Amino acid sequence: MTRAAKPCPVCGQPAAVETYRPFCSKRCADVDLHRWLGGVYRVETNEPPDDEDAPQPE
C-alpha cells in the first residue's frame, strides 16, 4: 500500500521526498521555519502578557 503524497504546505507541490516531509524541499522547510521564527505563525493563548513585556509606570 503506497501513501499518496500530500501537497507541500508552503508551495503546494507534492511532497515526494521523505527527508523533507511534509515539505517538498529543504527550501520550503527553511521558509516555514523562518515564518515561525519571524512571528508570522502564532499560537494564540489566553495567558496575560509577561510583566517584562508590559510598559513600566513612571
Does pLDDT of 55 surpass 80? no
Q: Which three cell numbers stand for residue 23?
A: 515539505
Identify which has the larger pLDDT, 6 or 13.
13
pTM: 0.64
pLDDT tens-digit readout, 25-54 = 999 999 999 999 998 988 888 888 776 655
Closest by Cα among 23, 42, 21, 45 to 32: 23
pLDDT tens-digit readout, 9-23 = 999 999 878 899 999
* Cβ contact 30:46 at 8 Å: no
Closest by Cα among 20, 40, 39 to 30: 20
Which residues are within 8 A (CB) of 9 and not within 5 positions of it... i.e. 6 or more apart? 22, 23, 28, 32
pLDDT at 30: 96
Give the residue extent of every domain in the chain: 1-39
Identify the bridge partners of residue 58 per DSSP, sorted by sequence position: none
